[in-house]
Amino acid sequence: MKRQDFQYGLRDGVPIALGYFSVSFSFGIMALKGGLSVLQAAITSLTNMTSAGQFAGLQIIIAGGTLLEMAATQLIINLRYALMSLSLSQKLSGNVTLWQRFIIAFANTDEIFAVAMSHNRELTFSYMVGLQILPIIGWTSGTACGAVAGSMLPVAINSALSVALYGMFLAVVIPAAKKTRPVLLMALLAAAISCILYYVPLFQGISAGMSIIICTVAASVVGAIVFPVKEEGGAK
Q: Are 100 and 70 in contact (CB under 8 A)?
A: no
Task: Determine the longest span between alpha carbons in the chain, in angstroms.
Answer: 61
Q: What are the residues whose beta carbons fall under 8 Å from the beta carbon of 190, sequence distance 6 or more?
A: 215, 216, 218, 219
Res 56: pLDDT: 84
Q: What tens digit of pLDDT does each residue of 54-66 get?
A: 888 888 888 888 8
Burial (CB < 10 A; 0-12, 13-18, 19+), residue 213, is buried
Contact 92, 123 (CB under 8 A): yes
What per-residue confidence (pLDDT) applies to 144? 95
Instruction: Enumerate residues 6+ apart whose C-beta is below 8 A from 75.
Output: none
Specify the pLDDT at position 236. 44
**Shortest CA distance to 92 belongs to which of 81, 80, 103, 78?**
103
Mean pLDDT, residues 63-86 = 84
* 224-230 long-range Cβ contacts below 8 angstroms, 24+ apart: 226/182, 227/182, 227/185, 227/186
Q: Are 219 and 192 contacting, i.e. CB atoms less than 8 angstroms apart?
A: no
pLDDT tens for 11-46 read 999 988 988 898 888 889 888 888 899 999 999 999
DSSP label at 200?
Answer: S
Q: Say if residue 84's pLDDT is above 60.
A: yes
User: Is the alpha carbon torsion for 5, 8, 12, 18 positive or negative?
Assistant: positive
pLDDT, residue 61, reads 87
pLDDT class of 145 with cuts at 50, 70, 90: very high
Does 232 score more than 60 pLDDT?
A: no
| pLDDT above 70 (res 215) | yes
State the average pLDDT over residues 143-158: 82
In sequence order, the β-bridge partners of residue 92 are 123
Range in 32-41, 50-59, 176-185, 206-215 with the lowest mean pLDDT = 206-215
Average of per-residue pLDDT across 103-117: 88
Q: So what's the pLDDT on residue 167? A: 64
35 in Cβ contact with 156 (< 8 Å): no
